[in-house]
Amino acid sequence: KAGVTQTPRYLIKTRGQQVTLSCSPISGHRSVSWYQQTPGQGLQFLFEYFSETQRNKGNFPGRFSGRQFSNSRSEMNVSTLELGDSALYLCASSHEKPSEKLFFGSGTQLSVL
Amino acid sequence: AQKVTQAQTEISVVEKEDVTLDCVYETRDTTYYLFWYKQPPSGELVFLIRRNSFDEQNEISGRYSWNFQKSTSSFNFTITASQVVDSAVYFCALSPLSSGTYKYIFGTGTRLKVLA
């Protein structure tokens, strides 16, 4: 069974640009969540989707958005990039229940110059 | 407030030493799950264990063991006879259920370096 796939693996952008990150969950998993990881801050929850609906959202500005498609694949978008958005963005999937263990992708390393 | 604290930012041990990673959590929920994940240099977090709030039994899996104590809101992780391959960042996480949220709260992680 293929794991969680995130693309691209690395991304370099400049301030003010926008970026879209993609996540393909494990087959059969309907829940996809996104996390931002920065040194010293650990993993910060961005949002979680289930069956194309956002079930919960973390404390991030509106520049961060996401969506989920009918095949459970998910994308997250960051508009008007700032230097502080440089981070590792991790996607995780699970079947459906919030108490289940998460399966993580290798992440997208975003650098904003 | 819901919070996970991993006070140890970085720990270095010599191979074969035992090491304990501390995790303290805060939640008002009566039903919740606690987790430990390992993040090797490749970046992908790997699940290690899940514990629900009603199960305080300690667990042992090979060289790994976990001590869950509700009285002190702690869920500590011990590696016995550490190996170089144990070098990674370890995250403790809380998933509260009563409040109907669908998210994990992660600690800031503990970087473990095992020296040969």
Secondary structure percentages of chain A, helix, strand, coil, to 5: 5, 55, 45
Nearest to A20 by CA among A74, A57, A60: A74
CA of A80 vs chain B CAs: smallest distance (Å): 26
Cα separation, B59 vs B71, whole angstroms: 17
pLDDT for B56 beyond 90: no
Residues of A with CB under 8 A from a CB of B: 3, 31, 33, 35, 40-45, 48, 50, 55-56, 58, 88, 90, 92, 98-99, 101-107, 109
Is B97 in Cβ contact with A48 (below 8 Å)? Answer: no
- The CB-based long-range contact list for B80-83 (8 Å cut-off, 24+ gap) reads B80/B18, B81/B16, B81/B17, B81/B18, B82/B13, B82/B15, B82/B16, B82/B17, B82/B18, B82/B19, B82/B112, B82/B114, B83/B15, B83/B16, B83/B114
pLDDT for B106 beyond 90: yes
- Residues of B within 8 A of A105 (CB-CB) are 44
Residue A1: pLDDT band (50, 70, 90) is low
Highest mean pLDDT among A48-52, B27-31, B53-57 belongs to: A48-52
What's residue B57's pLDDT?
Answer: 82
